[in-house]
Structure 1
Amino acid sequence: MKKYIVLLFISLFGFAQQTPAPKQSKSILILGAKAHLGNGKVIENSLISIIDGKIANIGDATVMKPAKHDIVIEASGKHVYPGFIAPNSTLGLVEIDAVRASDDESEIGQFNPHVRSIIAYNAESKLVETTRPNGVLLAQITPRGGRIPGTSSIVQLDAWNWEDASIKTDDGIHLNWPRSYSRAGWWAEPGGIEMNKNYDPQVKAIQEYFDNAFAYLGSKNTKKDIPYEAMKGLQSGEKTLFVNANGEKEIIDAVLFKKKNNIKNMTIVGGYYAFKVGALLKENNVSVLLNRVHSLPLLEDEDVNLPYKNAKLLVDAGVLVGLQNAGDMERMQTRNLPFYAGTCAAWGLSKEQALQLITGNSAKILGIDKQYGTLESGKSATLFISEGDALDMKTNIISFAFIDGRQISLESHHTELYQRYKGKFEQQKK
């Protein structure tokens, strides 16, 4: 029996992550591509110089005279984009849902701010490498479960281990806000809406936990409390409080909670009805990471296209908006992130505004915008070259991708299978 178990695990994990690229050693020049900067601007005929992992220079190729580089990539007719960012992701925390030993996304207990997702991150996950051929090169690795699941960190998706992958550790605390109501029944036969009679006590329990944590942090305790220690940085702005909430009441209560507790940075995760309180969010500098765009409306009498329009409604209200992908099969679906942005472009936003949802805006929300998210001189050379529009699944065909100036592999288990079965059918034609 043990022999068969070993064989099963070999078959499940037999395909390892592609070998991470070595540090950039040669200067690279990308010429002629249409550069989408990730801040709403475009350079039609661009020149991008990459030296020592940074963008040394970027501008109009018709004006700038390129210096000599070791490698020149002629990219006329192609497009250059900043690496896409996947916030609120469980990539690398779960490999196969049905294999318990590969599932490390949550801990027992309700209040776990000290649980650090980064140390459970598996940089050699097969699922991580499937995101890169579509341009997703960065992710916020986020725990799940409980009222406070823990602390997230941000990684680049081409590394030997979590230490190499980390670009910002312990960036934020995640809080699952209680629901004021719930729906009875199940998805095939939904029932009515039921009020949550425990909503107020649940909110009170959150407030008490924060009161105790901040009281501890403001005192001179000789005995360390590790969970409370993890709450340090929320009031100073070193960490962001990411609040999972969708309802209008829940979002309003979360904003009031921010003000009451002097929390500097807050982001609403989910935010299905955030558009109803856009002015409140803007006034209090609260950003939103929207639910998966390719979803059905929450209520049967709502506009079926509301999930597609949500981003446009919030952008028009002046709210800083990004996209995230939590939900069923979320790790496998991470590769579809650019196409969610493309759907937002089809429903009101311009293509460059939609691009910002997964580049510049997400970088600002996650606090990594000084180095990532846009194509600018001095920033990390984390970018890719696409044959066409990267927000369209028909034309998102990536020929080169770089993380911190390192040219990374675009191969994955998926591409290996594609080549294998393509060869099979070519043999059958002969």
Structure 2
Amino acid sequence: MKKLKNYIVVFALLFGMFATAEAQITEKPGFGKFAITNATIHTVTNGTIEGGVILINGNDIEFVGQNARITSDYTTIDATGKHVYPGFIDGWTGLGLTEISAVPVTVDNAEIGQFNPHMYAFTAFNPHSAAVPVTRVSGVTTVLSRPSSGNISGKAAVMDLWGYSPDSMAVRKSGALIMNLPSKGGGWWDNRSDAQIERAYKEDIKEINDFLDKARFYDEMMNAYEANPSGKTKPDHDPRMAAMREVLSGEVPVVISVNDEDAILDAIEWTKEHEDMRFIFSGVREGWRVAEEIAEAGIPVLTTTLYTPSRDYDNYQRPYQNPGIMMEAGVKVAIVSNDTENSRNTPFEAGYAAAYGMGTDEAIKAITINPAEMFGVDDKLGSLEEGKQANLFFSDGDPLEPMTKIEQVFIKGYKIPMVSRHVQLFDEFLDRDAVE
């Protein structure tokens, strides 16, 4: 009987969740040909255009500039006084993989085992997550949805936030390989000696290196077979090793989570042993301490601004200053939410960095073209250019400011209904009737 009650509770939560998700869309998105006119267009890569025009034809941007010829088959949107930006990209989130943390059946971001390069977050992404509409109406149109757990967690996916299935939303199914290196750091709870900590660290690093050596050997065998298959026996298929081939070629980057100064320096030294791979660091909370070293290594970073300083004697401004300090040192920086429900706050994370030394233009790049370049999707996303995918929005002001209103979002050329659970609750309670 107790088990039955538990199942009923879980079913009720799931039913409520999906009912909420379905209730968020009250109209179908528009699609076809649109002309956004009289706008201030922030292209990101080619300056700002005053009184400009953007033509959208199907999925793509057809024209960006001034004095466009607009035929009668375009739906014209007058954006006088409005600002148009490329859709923002949150490059580090669990969106689509976690719905209700306390309900295990709604959490699908981890796998059993330490090495899972063949596991794809794309296959677990929930297009109908209640957090998706909440995020996209804030101007965040694309995310890197990442798995967690183990030394190699799996492949993160670059996902647009409009569609009815993971296939229809995927920009790149293999956006990045997620890796967690061991740390030498202990704590007050760790009663091991320094020698024991060092020995454990070296053993864990060796396990990762051995896995990568096996992957390289497999890749060499497959390359030799593919170059001349005649008369040769094809190597047995190994899904884990096969999934590493695009990583070893540098096609798919490896994201390593590191935060404190020593861990960052250790990770930099480790990456030097694997020059055939392309790396990105995430977290990097003490990046400001070793910004020159990160820049010299040529490793881009994914970082946030809303966290408590790592050390109690650090200035409270350091988290806000961190992205700007690394940028000034020559590091390519992308600002991310590192959250699921609050992926929508990515623009405000960038706003803090803008106010504390990074500047607005660079902060905008940190949530548009920079993550697009890191994950190899800058041919489609990250700026407003002819031929790119029509992911964009227009607002009544600076989108890094909380008081700015995002008025309309387009994703893959679809004019998205500006509806979410948050909007519905706001409308419901704004002018509520008095209740006796």
Task: Tell me the TM-score normalized by structure 2.
Answer: 0.89
Give unpaired runs (5+ residues) of structure 2: 223-233
Task: Give runs of ≥4 in structure 1 deviating > 4 Å.
Answer: 1-4, 17-23, 191-195
Match of 1:421 in 2: 429
Q: 1:168 to 1:283 in 2, by over 3 A?
A: same
SS of 1:29's partner is strand
Give unpaired runs (5+ residues) of structure 1: 186-190
Match of 1:188 in 2: none
TM superposition shift of 1:245: 1.1
Task: Tell me if the contact between 1:345 and 1:354 (Cα under 8 Å) persists in the aligned partners.
Answer: yes
Task: Tell me if the contact between 2:336 and 2:346 (Cα under 8 Å) persists in the aligned partners.
Answer: yes
Q: 1:10 to 1:85 in 2, by over 3 A?
A: same
One-letter amino acid of the structure 1 residue matched with residue 150 of structure 2:
G
Deviations 1:321-355 (A, max 9, x none): 101222xxx21111110001111111012211111
TM superposition shift of 1:23: 7.4
Single out whichever of 135-144 and 220-229 deviates more from structure 2. Answer: 220-229
TM superposition shift of 1:143: 0.3
Matching of residue 116 in structure 1 with residue 120 in structure 2: yes
Query: In proportion to residue count, which structure has more helix?
Result: 2
Q: Report how many aligned residue pairs link the two structures.
A: 414
Match of 2:415 in 1: 407
Equivalent in 239, 246, 250 of residue 226 of structure 1: 239
Measured in 2, the distance between the counterparts of 1:365 and 1:10 equals 38
TM superposition shift of 1:204: 1.9
Equivalent in 293, 296, 305 of residue 293 of structure 1: 305
Match of 1:377 in 2: 386
Deviations 1:376-407 (A, max 9, x none): 11111100011111100111x12211011110
Single out whichever of 354-363 and 220-229 deviates more from structure 2. Answer: 220-229
Single out whichever of 371-380 and 67-76 deviates more from structure 2. Answer: 67-76
TM superposition shift of 1:192: 11
SS of 1:411's partner is coil
SS of 2:311's partner is coil
Measured in 2, the distance between the counterparts of 1:306 and 1:255 equals 22
Single out whichever of 254-263 and 314-323 deviates more from structure 2. Answer: 254-263
Task: Tell me if the contact between 2:392 and 2:410 (Cα under 8 Å) persists in the aligned partners.
Answer: yes
One-letter amino acid of the structure 2 residue matched with residue 399 of structure 1:
E
SS of 2:186's partner is strand
Equivalent in 302, 309, 314 of residue 326 of structure 2: 314
Task: Tell me if the contact between 1:113 and 1:173 (Cα under 8 Å) persists in the aligned partners.
Answer: yes
- Taking the TM superposition and a 5 Å limit, the aligned residue runs for 1:381-396 are 381-395=390-404
Deviations 1:45-86 (A, max 9, x none): 221111122111112x3xx24422521111111111110101
Measured in 1, the distance between the counterparts of 2:12 and 2:295 equals 55
- Taking the TM superposition and a 5 Å limit, the aligned residue runs for 1:62-77 are 64-69=67-72, 70-77=74-81
Matching of residue 11 in structure 1 with residue 20 in structure 2: no
Q: What is the RMSD computed on CA atoms of the aligned residues?
A: 2.3
- Taking the TM superposition and a 5 Å limit, the aligned residue runs for 1:25-44 are 25=32, 27-39=33-45, 41-44=47-50
TM superposition shift of 1:22: 5.6
Match of 2:225 in 1: none
SS of 1:105's partner is coil
SS of 2:63's partner is strand
Deviations 1:29-55 (A, max 9, x none): 111222222337322322111112211
SS of 1:283's partner is helix
Equivalent in 322, 342, 362 of residue 333 of structure 1: 342
SS of 2:221's partner is coil
Task: Tell me if the contact between 1:40 and 1:353 (Cα under 8 Å) persists in the aligned partners.
Answer: no
Matching of residue 183 in structure 1 with residue 183 in structure 2: no
Match of 1:84 in 2: 88
SS of 1:414's partner is helix
Measured in 2, the distance between the counterparts of 1:207 and 1:119 equals 28
Match of 2:149 in 1: 145
Measured in 2, the distance between the counterparts of 1:208 and 1:29 equals 55
Matching of residue 169 in structure 1 with residue 168 in structure 2: no
Match of 2:31 in 1: 24
